[in-house]
Each structure stands twice: as structure tokens, then as C-alpha cells.
Amino acid sequence: ETGVTQTPRHLVMGMTNKKSLKCEQHLGHNAMYWYKQSAKKPLELMFVYSLEERVENNSVPSRFSPECPNSSHLFLHLHTLQPEDSALYLCASSQGGGVAKNIQYFGAGTRLSVL
């Protein structure tokens, strides 16, 4: 079992659906991240939470809504998505507290398909 767990592993949704992606880390870390990985594109950082506070939001459309209820859990709420949102969504965590502690550990991702 990995230190960062993502569920579900696969998700198919229509453009009018509402769904949520879940991430849980068992590493005692203080920072959590959402990334989007599309075909033939570099990983795109979407959101960063440090000590449950959002510290980064990289111009992500409002149809993606993150939630971090505690330092171990991170959600990504999805609504009214577009087909171009189909991608692998990766969650990561790190100790936080500066660059020296920022080794990010990743989950296996949720493969999202929007029809």
C-alpha cells in the first residue's frame, strides 16, 4: 500500500454530473497538491494546500473545487466538466515548510473521462 491513496482509480462522468475525487495521505505530511496530467502535456499544478489552507490556485476553472478538511485528506469536487477535462488527476503530499522539505510523494491517480 502506498503512502498516498486516491479513489476512485477510474471515473466516467457526463458533462452535467457532479462527482468528487478523494486523496488520503498516511505520511504525516502538512502539504497536499492536485495535479492534472493530460496526454502530451507536462504535469500541471492545480492547487496547493499547506496546513489545510489553500496557498496556490493556478488559474483553474471554477468547475474544479478543492477541499482540504484536514492535513490527511484532500478532495477535488467536479461539476459541469468539459471533454477536455479528461485526464489523469494526481494527488501528492509533502512535509511542507520550505524547499528543503518539499519532496512530493504521489498517489496512483484517478483516470477521468468526461463524455
Partner 1 sequence: AQKVTQAQTEISVVEKEDVTLDCVYETRDTTYYLFWYKQPPSGELVFLIRRNSFDEQNEISGRYSWNFQKSTSSFNFTITASQVVDSAVYFCALTIYSSASKIIFGSGTRLSIRP
Binding interface with partner 1 (CB under 8 A): 2, 31, 33, 40-43, 45, 48, 50, 55-56, 88, 90, 92, 96, 98-99, 102-109, 111
Least separation in angstroms between residue 38's CB and partner 1 is: 11
Toward partner 1, which CB reaches closer, 13 or 88? 88
Q: Are strands 110-114 and 10-13 parallel, antiparallel or unpaired?
A: parallel
Q: How far is CA 9 from CA 1, 90, 97, in A?
A: 14, 10, 30
Which has the closest alpha carbon to 114: 48, 41, 16, 7? Answer: 16
- Output 110 or 114, the one with its CB closest to partner 1: 110
Least spacing, CB of residue 101 vs partner 1, in Å: 8
Asked if residues 106 and 3 have their Cβ atoms less than 8 Å apart, the reply is no
